[in-house]
Amino acid sequence: MIDGVLLKGYGGFYYVYAEGRVWECSLRGRFRVKDQDFIPGDRVNILPEQEDKATIESVITRRNVLSRPTIANVDQAILVFAMTSPKPDLNLLDRLLIQVTDAEIEPIIVFTKLDKYKEESGTAPKEGLKITDVYRNIGYTVFEVSSKTGQGIADIAVRLTNKISVLAGPSGAGKSSLFNALSPGIQLKTGEISNKSKRGRHTTRHVELMVCSGGLVADTPGFSSLFLPEMKRAELADCFPEFAIRRNQCRFNSCLHDKEPNCAIKAALETGEISPIRYDHYLIFLKEVIEAERKY
């Protein structure tokens, strides 16, 4: 038997990447009896039968599972947002960062359309670059790239090797264009931006892993909204690295960094050490988490 990674399931067959090629696999009868579910990213053992056909003999326990997109054993999430057209939805970015952090998956933030941003901004203050610096200074890995000119693409390609990655972000942010730049031989359909709404049109309809830059990458359906993972109100600050490192400096151990006195987070906000945008998002998320707590 040989080890492989499930790329996708279609029409009762499962396509597994192993030993540098794709195998069309069927299931052993015992899996049908157990009603075992298989999702992209599952690590499986397959038994070759003829040419590129094999059977799935066993499944290795998953390290993690994302529910949207549904994919297993993810090493890192490439969070893709455009610097312009459309402007980055930072509320959504922070939501995605919380989901990824909660799943113990490494986030990598990629801001696309750098060439278009430079054309539009001209000699104006580089507000977009200030935003990227906010996340970089927090400690996140951040790239600014142009799929059109190729700037920054090689740096991202290095990060994909021998890993399972997901591309996530809003429609129109350039996920498919980024994938195409990273893997020229495999072209994904790219969408246009609606002139009326300045929002992207969905171009990806299902989830599957594809070979890209020496790793496996899933180009996921665009997100328009995202619920926060289930957590207690005191746990939310742990998903904000710049908050977490200051929590022990607050007067109260139970400080929620909202209305409490002698709060280290609010003090850092006043001195400019914490982004006002990030803090505003934290307060919005805190209300959502508290409301969710009341429901369960």
Q: Which positions make up the binding site for Zn(2+)?
A: 250, 255, 257, 263
55: left (phi over 0), alpha (psi -120 to 50) or beta: beta
Sheet holding 215-219, edge to edge: 141-144, 106-112, 76-82, 164-168, 215-219, 209-212
Binding-site positions for GTP read: 112-115, 169-177
**Closest listed residue to residue 182, CA positions, set 167, 204, 201, 200:** 167
Distances in whole angstroms, Cα of residue 127 to Cα of each of 133, 193, 210: 10, 22, 35
Binding-site positions read: 112-115, 169-177, 250, 255, 257, 263
The strand pairing partners of 228, in sequence order, are none
| CB distance 102 to 72 below 8 Å | no
**Closest listed residue to residue 14, CA positions, set 35, 44, 34:** 44
Q: How far is it, in rounded angstroms, from Cα 70 to Cα 38?
A: 10
| CB distance 113 to 82 below 8 Å | yes
| CB distance 42 to 4 below 8 Å | no
> In angstroms, what is the C-alpha Rg of the chain?
21
Phi, psi of 60 (to 5 degrees): -85, 140
